[in-house]
A and B are shown apart, each in its own frame.
Chain A
């Protein structure tokens, strides 16, 4: 009997581990036909808007069919999808119906039905309507996990041009208010405090509708991360849906630019880079050929090559191709034994870009013949785009060296050649 009791206790221990595992799980429930993961029920509460923002499909002067949910409908939909394991939570946004305050009240209604009536404890992300009352933000913030206000355009002039009814202050003030409240809430040690926006706030801006440079956008994001302690800034490539003389006419949305901005955004948040390091006034936009980190590394070749076995964590992070996970793996693995290129491959470190910037026990990678900017740049480009020829050896020029010189001609005449 005693033995049996011990056994049950050990199995219980495994169960605890199982439960711990159950807490940390991904949030993706399915993947759409475009390959993006679907984790939240992402809907507009209404599309009948009183504002007339020039870039938006739902602006007041467009003739599109208009529809508005009732709070009960959205709450029912969310809880039933959640129970059937279709989604992980709700992402609720809305056009401005009648007035900002009225719309906010509708959103609060929806969320409070979910939280208080259906006891929904999943994730809720809600948009804040610019220009609404602060009390309403307080009320909504205590119900949801994450709040966001879209700044949409990266400067005040652009806002005046394209979204004349929105004001910079109407957007920045609530953002400051939310971030202050989150800070106060963090410091509050009382047992009965209300949780105000536990997952922080985010924002979104449109890239390519106005002439701002990448440097300006990145500077804006950096200051928002630092001053307003935002969790994320989302960038969305401008897709032209309306015709207006103030709008640019783009055939395709600037997807590559969006991608580069996201790459740089990661460098700001997880890799300890600053906006000024990545871009400067001479080249205010990102290179179309190379990613921001490679671009930075090529401009700062004096900081490379990095020795894998001795470099510290932050130096490793700056090597193109080595990310947070790889850097941590390297740090923990080199405690046991010193690393060479084979063991790096076994650890799962991708050497495609990293090979040009690192040494292992003082040696370069086998295919890296020389360490100069020209060689590395050509090879990086050719690995990105398969059709470019890779440079293994320097191209010999026929005309420089091989044209017969005067001496050669004399040798020919005398018959010694």
Chain B
């Protein structure tokens, strides 16, 4: 990748993973690297930039997708997929460089942590998955009518799919909805299969009577179990940042 041509252009794409893979295809086949890559909706126009929109091509994305799995390694696919789901600003250019270099050197790319873009891709993956891990514990279901459970979350990264998978394993026969309020995404599971939908109007039915009872009991337990003499709010906040408190029942 060292002798590739650096061009003074900004690439934009439609904001999907396939779109980014199309850019990887374009860059790799023409041996060039753009100055930066942005999703079209997040790009703020600047009169110095030469903007170039790359249209998503499913076929090319397909080839890159299979190529990563075949020529780099499965882990690279995993890393780039979760790095892409994070909310970091410079994620696209880092993933682009990571994948392009990965095609040159093969699976060794994941151990080359001294390269800043490799390190940042792995860091972004870690960042996304650690938020997912935190929310596996901090998500609270509310029982609504028709024996359906509903939970709202405000995550920073797009983690609704791995999170939903966790709860399908945990409650295999329970119907539930997880609502990502920052992105307006819904993970809907009907006891058999799941679907992720956005921009639909779901009116949340009323809360059941005994739901209130269990919430009260939970608050009582939560307040009773903490030892008053050892009160330590800083420690509590370190494990449970305040950004998650809005969805918790007990706080």
Whether B140 sits at the interface, judged by CB under 8 Å, is yes
Q: A38 at interface (Cβ–Cβ under 8 A)?
A: yes
A83: Cβ under 8 A from any B Cβ? yes
Looking at the complex, which one of B162, B221, B235 makes contact with A35 (CB distance below 8 Å)? B235
Is B149 interfacial (CB 8 A cutoff)?
A: yes
> Which residues of chain A (1-17) have a CB below 8 Å from chain B?
3, 6-7, 10, 13-15, 17
Interface status of A85 (Cβ within 8 A of chain B)? yes
Interchain CA distance A86-B249 in the complex, whole Å: 9
Report the stretch among B43-51, B86-94, B95-103, B222-230 that lies at the interface: B222-230
B236 within 8 A of A: yes
Residues of A with C-beta under 8 A to B111: 336
Q: Is A70 an interface residue (CB 8 A)?
A: no
Does any Cβ of B come within 8 Å of A80's Cβ? yes
Q: How large is the interface on B (under 10, 10 to 19, 20 to 34, 35 or more residues)?
A: 35 or more
B231 touches A34 (CB 8 A): yes
Interface of B is mostly: helix
Q: With a CB–CB cut-off of 8 A, which chain B residues contact A22?
A: 136, 162, 165-166, 169
Among A19, A25, A30, chain B packs the most CB atoms within 10 A around the CB of A30
A10-B139 in contact given A32-B225, A33-B236, A34-B232 (Cβ < 8 Å): no
B171 and A83 contacting across the interface, CB-CB below 8 Å: yes
One of B24-32, B34-42, B74-82 contacting the partner: B74-82
Residue of A nearest to B68 (CB): A10
The answer to whether the Cβ of B250 comes within 8 Å of any Cβ in the partner chain is yes
Contacts A26-B137, A34-B230, A84-B214; A10 near B77 (Cβ below 8 A)? yes
* Cβ < 8 Å to B, chain A residues 31-60: 31-38, 41-42
* In contact, A83 and B141 (Cβ under 8 angstroms): yes
Answer whether residue B207 sits at the interface, using C-beta atoms and an 8 A cutoff. Answer: no
C-alpha gap A156/B214 in the complex (Å):
44
The reply on A325 being an interface residue by CB < 8 A is no
Q: Does A398 lie at the interface of the complex (its beta carbon under 8 Å from any beta carbon of B)?
A: no
B239 A17 Cβ-Cβ under 8 A = no
Known: A18-B162, A84-B214, A85-B139. A31 touches B240 (CB 8 A): yes
Say which residue of B149, B217, B234, B240 sits within 8 Å of A83 (CB atoms): B149
> What A residues does B5 contact at CB under 8 A?
none
Which residues of the other chain, A, contact B217 by a CB distance below 8 angstroms?
77
Q: Given A7-B62, A34-B231, answer yes or no on A26-B136 (Cβ-Cβ < 8 Å).
A: yes
The reply to whether the CB of B142 lies closer than 8 angstroms to some CB of chain A is yes
B161 within 8 Å of A by Cβ?
yes
Q: Which of A14, A19, A36 touches B81 (beta carbons < 8 Å)?
A: A14
Nearest-neighbour CB distance to chain A for B203, whole angstroms, equals: 22
Q: Residue A194 at the B interface, CB < 8 A?
A: no
**Are B129 and A21 closer than 8 Å at their CB atoms?**
yes
Residue B248 is within 8 A (CB to CB) of chain A in the complex:
yes
Identify the closest chain A residue to B66 (Cβ).
Answer: A6
Instruction: Give Cα A81–Cα B219 distance, bound, in whole angstroms.
Output: 11
Closest chain B residue to A80, Cβ basis? B214
B47 to chain A, nearest CB (A): 40
Q: Is the CB of A21 within 8 A of B140?
A: no
Which of the residues A10, A26, A30 comes within 8 Å of B222, measured between beta carbons?
Answer: A30
Is B165 in contact with A33, judged by CB distance below 8 angstroms? no
Contact assessment for B81 and A30 in the assembled complex, using a CB-CB cutoff below 8 Å: no
What are 11 residue pairs bridging A and B, where the CB atoms are less than 8 Å apart in the complex? A10-B66, A15-B165, A17-B78, A18-B165, A25-B136, A26-B137, A30-B138, A31-B240, A32-B222, A35-B234, A36-B226
Across the A-B interface, the 3 shortest Cβ-Cβ residue pairs: A35-B235, A32-B226, A22-B166
Which B residues fall within an 8 A CB radius of A? 59, 62, 65-66, 69, 74, 77-78, 81, 111, 129, 132-133, 136-143, 149, 151, 161-162, 165-167, 169-171, 174, 214, 217-218, 221-223, 225-228, 230-236, 238-240, 248, 250
Known pairs A17-B78, A34-B230 / 5 extra A-B pairs, C-beta < 8 Å: A26-B133, A26-B136, A30-B137, A32-B225, A83-B171
